[in-house]
């Protein structure tokens, strides 16, 4: 088992919330992702065994959504919104700025496996653009100074 006892417990708690077991697929994938930072075929299998739905249904659902990458990423996943409201306020330049600061191109992970930089679609922070999400938290109304500060803090934390 790759999933921890804690994750298995959380997943099992989700099942009875729904009239049908299959509904627990997304919650289970979310719990697995929170533990691991990725969800691959082996995890699909484990989830299928826990919530007792066909394995292929887990794989089909997981790959439909964007939040369950199959491979691990850096410790901090930086997701910059590149959609229209953010782009109007410099999101493309923000991505360029992060690329320079991290020394990687969009889609890459720093050699120390600390940061992965990707751009994503609208995250619903349009009136506080530009913004980015790092792991599960939003960072809004970004400026170069703020970005520098955030990166410094994360580096210090790591």
Residues making contact with other proteins (CB under 8 A): 17-27, 29-30, 41, 44, 53-57, 59-68, 82-85, 87-94, 96-97, 121-130, 133, 136-138, 140-144
C-beta closer to other proteins: residue 40 or 108? 40
CA distance readout (Å), 61 to 27, 53, 84: 11, 12, 28
Minimum gap (Å) between residue 2 Cβ and other proteins: 15
Other CB atoms within 10 Å distance of the CB of residue 45: 14
C-beta closer to other proteins: residue 103 or 144? 144
Rounded Cα–Cα distance for residues 151 and 101 (Å): 9
Ranges of H-type helices in 1-143? 5-14, 25-36, 41-51, 55-64, 84-88, 91-102
C-beta closer to other proteins: residue 3 or 53? 53
Minimum gap (Å) between residue 43 Cβ and other proteins: 11
C-beta closer to other proteins: residue 3 or 51? 51
């Amino acid at each position: 088992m790759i999933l921890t006892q804690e994750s298995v417990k959380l997943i099992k708690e989700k099942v009875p919330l729904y009239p049908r077991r299959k509904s627990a697929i997304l919650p289970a994938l979310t719990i697995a992702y929170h533990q691991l930072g990725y969800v691959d075929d082996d995890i699909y299998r484990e989830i299928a065994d826990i919530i007792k739905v066909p394995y292929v249904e887990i794989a089909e659902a997981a790959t439909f959504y964007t939040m369950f990458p199959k491979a691990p990423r850096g410790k901090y996943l930086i997701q910059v919104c590149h959609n229209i409201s953010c782009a109007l306020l410099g999101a493309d330049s923000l991505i360029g700025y992060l690329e320079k600061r991290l020394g990687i191109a969009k889609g890459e992970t720093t050699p120390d496996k600390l940061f992965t930089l990707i751009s994503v679609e609208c995250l619903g922070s349009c009136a506080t653009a530009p913004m980015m999400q790092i792991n599960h938290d939003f960072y809004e109304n970004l400026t170069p100074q703020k970005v520098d500060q955030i990166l410094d803090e994360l580096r210090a934390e790591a």
